[in-house]
Structure 1
Amino acid sequence: MPSQKTYTVEEAKKRIERYCAYQERCHKEVQQKLRDMKMIPEAINLITAHLIEENYLNETRFAKAFARGKFNTKKWGKQRIVRELKVRAIGQYNIKIALKEIPEDAYLQTFEALAEKRLQQLTSEININKKKKKLADYLFYRGWEPELVWGKVRQLS
């Protein structure tokens, strides 16, 4: 069994700085990475404080980038984004700020485009109720709000 490499606080600090510079990270990810590096709790707190002071780690910036990214690339709705941010231990204040990154008109346009695209994929489904259920399940999984989803489903009659 290969031995686990050990790091000094300075080595760990440099490594984690690169880790954070590569892409936005949340506190939870960074602390897990440090635990994986077998750092002791005191060192983890010291390094986390250093990263925050040096602006490598910024929860608000992470939340905003996360919300923009997941909306633009994965077409996630606000509910899914909120759920995923909560899993990453992001506070309610930062979640609110992050959701403001998504323009309302772009949000609704994306929803319509996603729903239409999914409907095109469901052309082979003959049973209208099954078609409605598949569309609703797909949109809910992506985290879109119930009023939007049910409004779209009601249009299929």
Structure 2
Amino acid sequence: MDVEIKPVKITDPKVGLAKAEHYCAYQERAQQEVRNKLYDWGLYPKDVEQIISTLIENNFLNEERFAKTFAKSKFNQKGWGRIKIKQALKFKKVPDVLIRKALLTIDGDEYQATLKHMLQKKAATVTEKEGFKRQYKLQQYAMSRGFEGDIVADTIKNIEW
């Protein structure tokens, strides 16, 4: 017989704040992520908002810092394009102004170089021989990774195959 263990709910705001500080110190978080976690822990709405403002005051929580770190890390580690990064930040309910600032931290030359490298790597695995179908497959792949269609098309035209 399986016994389901339910997590202990936190009702004391001081305990919630201490756990939230640890949660935010571990890695950068969006406000909405922290808010959701606090609700998961069982805190009351008035306590959640008080804890969020305390975290902001004590610089444990900073949306701009989170957005910039998120954008850089997803670009550098996962090779995501600007569109995919923007969608992910919107999903985390980061304000549009901060999303734009975060996307500006991605270097344009590095962005082009990453796209070119990714396309060359993918081209080696595409078995299609016909030129237009091959280009289409490469373009669709790059766009699925979050790169803008016009930039992808220009890069594909300029690559020496």
The equivalent residue for 1:58 is 62
CA deviation after TM superposition for structure 1 residue 96, in Å: 1.5
The alignment's TM-score, normalised by the length of structure 1, stands at 0.92
The equivalent residue for 1:68 is 72
Deviations 1:72-96 (A, max 9, x none): 0011111111111111111111112
Give the letter for the 1:12 counterpart. Answer: G
3-state DSSP class of the match of 2:16?
helix
Identical amino acids, percent of aligned pairs: 35
The alignment's TM-score, normalised by the length of structure 2, stands at 0.89
The equivalent residue for 1:148 is 151
Taking structure 1 as reference, are residues 154 and 104 closer, same or farther at Cα in structure 2, changes over 3 Å only?
closer
CA deviation after TM superposition for structure 1 residue 6, in Å: 2.3
CA deviation after TM superposition for structure 1 residue 155, in Å: 5.8
The structure 1 residue matched to 2:123, chosen from 90, 111, 119, is 119
CA deviation after TM superposition for structure 1 residue 153, in Å: 4.3
Taking structure 1 as reference, are residues 113 and 3 closer, same or farther at Cα in structure 2, changes over 3 Å only?
closer
Alpha-carbon distance in structure 2 between the residues aligned to 1:150 and 1:103: 19
Q: Which structure 2 residues correspond to residues 24-35 of structure 1 after superposition, within 5 A?
A: 24-35=28-39
CA RMSD of superposed structures (Å)? 1.7
Deviations 1:84-111 (A, max 9, x none): 1111111111112111211111111111
User: Aligned pairs, how many?
Assistant: 156
The structure 2 residue matched to 1:5, chosen from 5, 8, 12, is 8
The structure 2 residue matched to 1:135, chosen from 138, 142, 147, is 138
The equivalent residue for 1:44 is 48
Deviations 1:85-143 (A, max 9, x none): 11111111111211121111111111111111111111x22343432232122111111
Deviations 1:37-87 (A, max 9, x none): 111101110110110000000000000000000000011111111111111
3-state DSSP class of the match of 2:124?
helix
Give the letter for the 2:15 counterpart. Answer: E
